[in-house]
Amino acid sequence: MSYKHNNEEQSVLQKIQNQTGCLLLVIGIAMLAFVLTDLVSSGSSIFSSNDNSVGEISNEPISYDEYNQTYEALKAQLIQNNPGIAFDENMSKQYQQQAWNTIIESRLIEPEYEKLALTVSLAELEDLTIGDNTHPQIQQSFRNPETNQFDKQRLVRFLKEDINSNPEALQNWNSFQQQFTTSLIAQKYNQLIMSSVYTTDLEAANYGRDNNQTKNATVVNLPYNQYKDSILSVSDSEILSYMKDHSIKYRRGASRDIEYIRLNVIPSKEDSMDMIFQTKEIAQKFTETNDDSAFVSIMNSETPFNKTFQRRGSFLASIEDNIFSASVGEVLGPIQENGIYSVYKVTDIGTDSVSSIRGSHILINVAGTDTAQAEKSAQELISQIKAGATTFEAEANKKNYDASRGNGGDLGWVTKDSRAYPSKLINRLFKSPKGNYFILRSNKGVHIGKATSQISRKTVQVAVVDQKIFSSTKTDGEYYKMAGDFLTKVNGEKSFEEVAEELGLTKRVANGIKESSLAIPGVSNPNLIAKWLFDEATNEGDLSSIIDIDGNYYVARITNIKVEGLADIDEGRSEIEDILLDQKKSEKLHARMYEALKKSSNSDELANELETTPVSIPAASFTNSSIPYIGRDLVISGTIFGLKVGGKSNIIKGERAVAVVYLNSDNQYEATDAEDLKLQITDQIKQEIQQKLRNTIVEKGEVVDLRYRFYN
Q: Residues 311-322: what's their mean pLDDT?
A: 89
Q: Residues 420-435: what's their mean pLDDT?
A: 93
Query: CB within 8 A of 582, min separation 6: which ones?
Result: 224, 655, 656
Strands ordered across the beta sheet of 53-57: 60-63, 53-57, 704-705
- Could you tell me what percent of the chain has a pLDDT over 70? 92
Which of 554 and 712 is assigned the larger pLDDT? 554
Write the pLDDT tens digit of every residue in 213-272. 899 999 999 999 888 777 889 999 999 999 999 998 988 888 899 999 999 999 999 999
Write the pLDDT tens digit of every residue in 567-626. 888 888 999 999 999 999 999 999 999 999 999 999 999 999 999 999 999 988 887 778
Write the pLDDT tens digit of every residue in 530-542. 999 998 899 999 9
pLDDT at 81: 64
How long is the chain? Answer: 712
pLDDT at 254: 86
Residue 158 has pLDDT above 60, yes or no: yes
Give the integer Cα–Cα distance in Å for 660 and 218. Answer: 8
Residue 8 has pLDDT above 50, yes or no: no
Radius of gyration in angstroms for the set of CA atoms belonging to the chain, rounded to a whole number: 34
Residue 10 has pLDDT above 60, yes or no: no
Give the integer Cα–Cα distance in Å for 406 and 404. Answer: 6
Residue 30 has pLDDT above 70, yes or no: no
Q: Residues 100-115: what's their mean pLDDT?
A: 90
pLDDT at 51: 66
Across 81-85, 370-374, 546-550, which has the greatest mean pLDDT?
546-550
DSSP 327: P
pLDDT at 47: 33
Q: What is the pTM of this model?
A: 0.59
Q: Report CA 598 to chain centroid distance, whole Å.
A: 58
Question: Is residue 489 a contact partner of residue 499, using CB atoms and an 8 Å limit?
Answer: yes
* Domains defined along the chain, listed by start: 12-195 (no CATH), 214-251+570-666 (no CATH), 254-267+472-563 (3.10.50.40), 271-468 (3.10.50.40)
- Could you tell me what percent of the chain has a pLDDT over 90? 49
Across 12-16, 39-43, 380-384, 440-444, which has the greatest mean pLDDT?
380-384
pLDDT at 141: 77
pLDDT at 62: 93
Question: Is residue 533 a contact partner of residue 513, using CB atoms and an 8 Å limit?
Answer: yes
Residue 4 has pLDDT above 80, yes or no: no
Would you list the DSSP string of 211-240? HH--EEEEEEEEEGGGS-GGGS---HHHHH
Residue 520 has pLDDT above 90, yes or no: no
pLDDT at 512: 87
Residue 446 has pLDDT above 90, yes or no: yes
Burial status of residue 698 (CB atoms within 10 A of its CB: 0-12, 13-18, 19 or more): middle
Q: Which contacts of 180-183 are long-range, i.e. CB under 8 A and separated by 24 or more positions?
A: 180/31, 180/34, 180/135, 180/137, 180/138, 181/120, 181/125, 182/34, 182/35, 182/37, 182/110, 183/31, 183/34, 183/35
Q: Residues 68-80: what's their mean pLDDT?
A: 85
